[in-house]
């Protein structure tokens, strides 16, 4: 159920938070990068829509923040897979919604897991 999707989100967020610039570690393949970034965007969008946290930026800013994060890590954001970031983010969001129940809504956990990403998105000058 929803805990299933949280279980895939936790490792992805952990890996994303621990990812280092490309000069220290070999880069992830673009598809793995998109999975990580789309989890950040989908989880943030879920917090905004389902958990009613109003100070979370819109989807465009979340996507831009995810791309900026990838660029800071030295990831090749010009790779063809990056064109699918918005689509993959929506698909992950739809998966979260499909398993959503009021009793098992993971708002607090997601908010804690995404705190650094959301801070970056809120601080972003680009829309």
Q: State pLDDT tens for residues 45-55.
A: 999 999 999 99
pLDDT of residue 29: 85
* CA separation for the pair 2, 101 (Å, rounded): 8
For residue 28, the 8-state DSSP code is: P
Question: At residue 23, does pLDDT exceed 50?
Answer: no
CA 23, CA 21: separation in Å to the nearest integer? 5
Give the model's pLDDT for residue 13. Answer: 56
Per-residue pLDDT, 24: 42
Mean pLDDT of the chain: 82
What is the phi/psi pair of residue 120, to 5°? Answer: -65, -40
The b/e string for 65-76 (b: 16+ C-beta within 10 A; e otherwise) is bbbebbeebebe
Q: CA 55, CA 70: separation in Å to the nearest integer?
A: 23
**pLDDT computed for residue 92 by the predictor:** 96
Q: Which of 6-10, 32-36, 39-43 has the lowest mean pLDDT?
A: 6-10
- SS3 per residue for 29-80: CHHHHHHHHHHHHHHHHHHHHCCCCCCCCCHHHHHHHHHHHHHHCCCCCCCH
pLDDT tens-digit series, residues 54-98: 999 999 999 999 999 999 999 999 988 899 999 999 999 999 988
| Whether pLDDT at 9 is above 80 | no
pLDDT (0 to 100) of residue 16 = 54
Closest CA to 32 of 68, 81, 78: 81
């Amino acid at each position: 159920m929803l805990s299933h999707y949280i279980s895939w989100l936790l490792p992805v967020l952990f890996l994303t938070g621990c990812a280092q610039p490309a000069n220290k570690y070999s880069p992830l393949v673009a598809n793995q990068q998109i999975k990580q970034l789309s989890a950040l965007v989908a989880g943030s969008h879920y917090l905004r829509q389902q958990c009613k946290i109003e100070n979370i930026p819109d989807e465009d800013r979340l996507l831009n923040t995810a791309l900026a994060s990838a660029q800071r890590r030295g990831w090749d954001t010009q790779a063809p897979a990056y064109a699918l970031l918005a689509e993959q983010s929506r698909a992950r969001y739809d998966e979260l919604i499909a398993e959503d129940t009021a009793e098992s809504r993971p708002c607090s956990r997601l908010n804690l897991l995404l705190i650094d990403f959301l801070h970056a998105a809120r601080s972003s000058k680009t829309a």
